[in-house]
Structure 1
Amino acid sequence: MRTLATVFGLVGALVFSAGIASAAQPEPWQMGFQPAATEVMEFVHWFNNFTLIIITAVTLFVLALLIYCVVRFSKRNNPEASKTSHNTMIEVVWTVVPILILVVIAVPSFRLLFMQQVIPQYDMVIKATGYQWYWGYEYVDEGMEDVAFDAIMLSDEERAEKMASEGLTEKDVPRLLATDYNMVVPVDTTVLVQVTAGDVIHAFAMPAFGVKIDAVPGRLNQTWFRAERTGIYYGQCSELCGKDHAFMPIAVQVVTKEQYAVWAEAAKSDVDEANAKLAALIKKEKVAAAKGADDTLTVAASN
């Protein structure tokens, strides 16, 4: 029994890990939010569910009142119409109760706004500039001033070539979301993002992070995120900016701090070389992890 429990536990862990990796992008026929990758987005999930419960209860209550009134005061059940013009208690209740409901909703709403707007002590700064129709990223921290690149959506031909050359699947390189360069950041690190635009108004939006802020020419807006899980997360420009508005995605690759240190050191001289080193390192670690899991399963099965 212990062996079976170990095997099922390992299998469950692998499935769960795969679920997290696949949760970095929208899914076909998805109805709700993408899984949260930050504390802010987790609160957004909670607040959404919280308000859904409240509005569902209010809707059902109003529906019950309507049904009651239709039945109770129908011509058949109430042939003589009431002459009542007002009821003080009812008027007090339907004034006070909505106020209390709105206060209950407002308190966590203000807390969420505070979390999104008040930037905590940050560990690194990246400037994101929107253009028609791509994003430019500049690493502002000391020693990283020369690291800058543009991220352009992969065409279908480039996407197919990338999958063939690197042995990737369609899920690894999602259509209309994958870019030739990703913003690379370390996990569990507070990142300040300075957002602006070089031509017209754009918007930097990353659903899994709970981030959305306008990119306005001549103005520097600021937002932040702290990703809690590694993976590649996708967003898009969320402000109508021209004919290719739908084709300027945002890709943020969250890696371990050790992986980021390797990438950052190489990126100071060559971003392409840094990306190649990062991809090789991630692939090597995945192979090692898979081999370790297979060895553990083999030992568990033999016991």
Structure 2
Amino acid sequence: MNMCSKCRSTPVLSTRRDLEGQETSDRHSMRHSRLWTILIDIPLIIIVVALIGLFEIGVIPSHRAGFFCNDQSLAFPYRGDTVSTSVLVSTIFLAPLIVILVTELIFQEQEYNYREKTIASMKNTLWVYRNYIYGMIFNFAVIEIMKGITGSPRPTFFYICEPDTGKTCNGSEFVSTFECTSTRFSKWMQNDSYHSFPSGHTSLSVHCGLFIAWYLQKRAFDWRFRTVFVVPLVQLICISFAAISSLTRITDRRHHWWDVVIGFVIGLFTFLYAAIVLSRGSAINRTEKPISSSIHQSVKSLIYNPRTIDSVSP
């Protein structure tokens, strides 16, 4: 009888050792991943962001496509932006972070204590937001490369740039070389006057709006809730923001319609990249307890479960 009890108690001890070994392995894997992030990922991101910034301020030169004299599609006056660059940038960086964090705090399991709930929410938020930012950086890079290669004039090109050769050319002559002579606009605005294709406002707002709407659908929407309108309302706001940011680029005469169409396609593809490829296996649609807590509970249930004790007793 004593030999039988020893046989039955062995799986409990073995399971405990397996769980402790799994915890050690997970911790080692996390440290290894963080090391690669610090040594490889972060420096690469800094380099890419720095190159984008150097291009934006004109340190890295871009191609100039030229223009036709008296081209009326490039002669619209500049009236400002309905969605300014500052509003766009602050929205695409802050709105997803706030929405994801609030959602994670709300939908964490109720048996968590306050500290565990906060830690788990922040962990999941950073994981999802990281994927979103990676897709956003990819979006930035594609847009800036295409703008630099094409050098397409905006509809407000003549008004902002005031090209020197455009004042002396005749008829429909094509002008391939020019210099901006405007004194009313900054150097950055003059350089930006021939960065029309594709629309950065469109691609970035579409990436942001679709990602938040997708995240809420995967993480927060459930027909069993007392209210099912809150999530669709937030999703509608996100999609509306993307639509307004895109369409006003045409009505403000800041982009041609084809710039907006291609910008939408780029935003759609970077969203799919962040949502499908990068977020595969992420914490979306599931809430996990901290590893140490789950292992502790599993070991406790195996060791102190009354049924287990009864089965191993002589």
TM-score by length of structure 1 reads: 0.24
Task: Kindly name which structure, 1 or 2, has the bigger radius of gyration based on alpha carbons.
Answer: 2
Structure with more helix by fraction: 2
Pick the structure with more strand per residue. Answer: 1
